[in-house]
Amino acid sequence: MQAVLEHSPPAGATVRTTKRTGFLLLSPSALILLVWSIVPLVMTLWYSLQNYNLVDPTLHGFAGIDNYWYLLTDPDFLHALLNTLVLVAGVLLISIGGGTLLAVLYDQEFFGRGIARIMVISPFFIMPTVSALLWKNLMLHPIYGVYSAMMRAVGLTPIDWLARFPLMTVMMIVAWEWLPFAVLILLTAVQSLDGEQREAARMDGAGPIARFRYIILPHLGRAISVVVMIETIYLLTIFAEISVTTAGGPGVASTNLAYLIYSRALLQFDVGGASAGGVVAIVIANIVAIFLVRAVARNLEA
């Protein structure tokens, strides 16, 4: 941590006051985050061990691990868990892979590049409910959607994407929202690459693929880890896109953990069961976080 060395506090008697001031300035943020991260967590844990249904007051009392047992043996839960992982992994793959290629593409100079770039990053500014409805109706509607019209124009039968491939379609909609974010970050990283270094490699006869593989790609490591961290936080909780397009269906085909917990808690009013699902979601997020925080910690040190 270079910065720590640079800004090391002055020696002597002022150290203690500096420490105290530092602590005082930090404490408001730290305190509310502490409360924010602990109180709901404890409450979730507590509820998850209770029989607690908002519409059935007769059912109450300690449930032990019943809620967990009920949840973990529920095939819907396993399905939702798998769907969550597929969604996160799929969107990350598309946005990192596509984002890297597009970053290299939009780093090239061509006519109207500035406008093209703005168009590419635009979907990032669209709110999830809008992009979900936009794709569901205007683009993919089996009768009136533009994509269906295009398929008919070339002699194919339009597909009801959200009914036939619900999870894949939701993944594509979410990827459309997050690919621009990856492009935004990765493009900046590519552009910050030393031009001379690239020219030198070019002079030495390195082809475009070799330049990409040995010069650009290694340089992108930190940017990619930033994209992975920020996107994972959001992708673990994809909700609006599912709620608006498929409502988790057909069946549980496009239900992820977020949607499952929502439907248990606010549609079926089963607070205990939903809380058990919440605890499981937290455990999964923490497993992911251990890896991610490590990657970010490396970045903070550099």
Partner 1 sequence: MALKTKTSTRIGVTILGWGIALWLFFPIFWMILTSFKSEVQAISTPPKLFFMPTLSSYAEVFERANYWHFALNTVIVSVGATAIAIALAVPAAYSMAFMPSKRTRGTLLWMLSTRMLPPVGVLVPIYILARNTHLLDTCTGLAIVDMLTNLPIIVWMLYTFFREVPAPILEAGRMDGATRWQEMTLVLLPLALPGIASTALLSLILCWNEAFWSLNLTSSHAAPLTAFIASFSSPEGLFFGKLSAASTLAVAPILVFGWISQKQLVRGLTFGAVK
Window 6-25: residues binding partner 1 (CB under 8 A): 6-9, 18-19, 21-25
Q: How far apart are CA 141 and CA 143, in angstroms?
A: 6
Regarding 216 and contact with partner 1 (CB under 8 A), the answer is: no
Q: What residue spans of the chain are helical by DSSP H?
A: 2-6, 14-48, 66-72, 75-105, 113-121, 128-133, 146-153, 161-164, 166-191, 195-203, 208-211, 217-219, 221-235, 240-245, 257-262, 271-301
DSSP letter, residue 160: -
Please pick, from the candidates 47, 68, 77, 178, the single residue that binds partner 1 as defined by CB under 8 A.
47
The residue range among 55-63, 69-77, 126-134, 162-170 that interacts with partner 1, by the rule CB under 8 A, is 126-134
8 A C-beta contact, residue 186 and residue 104: no
The residue range among 56-64, 66-74, 163-171, 176-184 that interacts with partner 1, by the rule CB under 8 A, is 176-184
For residue 227, how far is the Cα from the chain centroid?
9
Regarding 117 and contact with partner 1 (CB under 8 A), the answer is: yes
Please pick, from the candidates 49, 71, 96, 135, the single residue that binds partner 1 as defined by CB under 8 A.
135
Regarding 295 and contact with partner 1 (CB under 8 A), the answer is: no
Regarding 72 and contact with partner 1 (CB under 8 A), the answer is: no
The smaller minimum CB distance to partner 1, of residues 170 and 265, is found at 265
- Contact characters 75-104, partner 1, x per CB under 8 A: ---------------------------x--
- Contact characters 150-169, partner 1, x per CB under 8 A: --xx----------------
Regarding 296 and contact with partner 1 (CB under 8 A), the answer is: yes
Tokens of 189: 């990283």
Q: Which amino acid is at 193?
A: L
8 A C-beta contact, residue 210 and residue 263: no
Please pick, from the candidates 4, 13, 154, 209, the single residue that binds partner 1 as defined by CB under 8 A.
4
Q: How far apart are CA 227 and CA 161, in angstroms?
A: 28
Regarding 178 and contact with partner 1 (CB under 8 A), the answer is: no
